[in-house]
Structure 1
Amino acid sequence: MKNPIQPKIGATFIPVKDVESARDWYCGLLSIEPTEEIVNGHLYVLRLQDGHNLVLDQKIYKKYRKHRAPLFHFNTTDIQESYTYVQDFEADNIGEIEFGEFFTFEDPDGNVLMVCECDNG
Structure 2
Amino acid sequence: MGKQIGSSLSVLVVSDLARSRRYYREVLGFDVTDWWAERDGLNGMALKLHQAPDGFVPVPNPPESGADTGIDVQGYTDTWAGLDALYAEFESKGAKFAREPIVYEDFGPWKEFVVEDPDGYHLAFGGVDGAKAHCSIQPKLDAGILRVRDLGGAVERYAKLMGLQVRDEDRYGHLHLFRLDNGTNLMLDSNGMANVPVLELGPALKLGTHDIERAKREAVECGFEVVHDIQRLPSVAYFNIRDVDGNVVMITQDYVPEGS
The interval holding the TM-score normalised by the smaller chain is: 0.7 to 0.9
Residue 13 of structure 1: CA displacement?
A: 0.9
Q: Does the Cα contact within 8 Å between 1:12 and 1:53 map onto a contact in 2?
A: yes
Number of aligned pairs? 118
1:109 counterpart residue number: 245
Question: 2:20 is matched with which residue?
Answer: none
Closer/same/farther in 2, CA of residues 83 and 26 from structure 1, 3 Å limit: same
1:87 aligns with 2:87: no
SS at match of 1:81: helix
Deviation at residue 51 of structure 1 after TM alignment: 0.9
In 2, distance between residues paired with 1:9 and 1:67?
24
Measure the CA separation in 2 of the matches of 1:93 and 1:79: 13
Q: Secondary structure at the match of 1:113?
A: strand
Q: Are 1:98 and 2:234 matched, yes or no?
A: no
Q: How far apart are 1:74 and its partner, in Å?
A: 0.5
Offset of residue 3 of structure 1: 2.5
Residue aligned with 2:204, SS: coil
Calculate percent identity across the aligned residue pairs.
28
**Pairwise CA RMSD of aligned residues?**
2.0
CA contact (8 A) 2:150 2:190 kept: yes
* 1:71 aligned onto 2:204: yes
State how far apart, in whole Å, the 2-side matches of 1:68 and 1:109 are. Answer: 10
Matched, 1:51 2:187: no
Larger radius of gyration: 2
Q: Return the TM-score normalized by structure 2.
A: 0.42
Paired AA for residue 202 in structure 2: A
When normalised by structure 1's length, the TM-score is 0.84
- Letter aligned with residue 22 of structure 1: A
Aligned equivalent of 1:29, options 146, 152, 161: 161
Structure number with the bigger relative contact order (C-alpha 8 A, sep ≥ 6) is 1
More strand per residue: 2
Determine if contact 1:94/1:104 at 8 Å carries over to the other structure.
yes
Residues 146 and 189, structure 2, Cα contact 8 Å, conserved in 1? yes
SS class of match (1:77):
coil
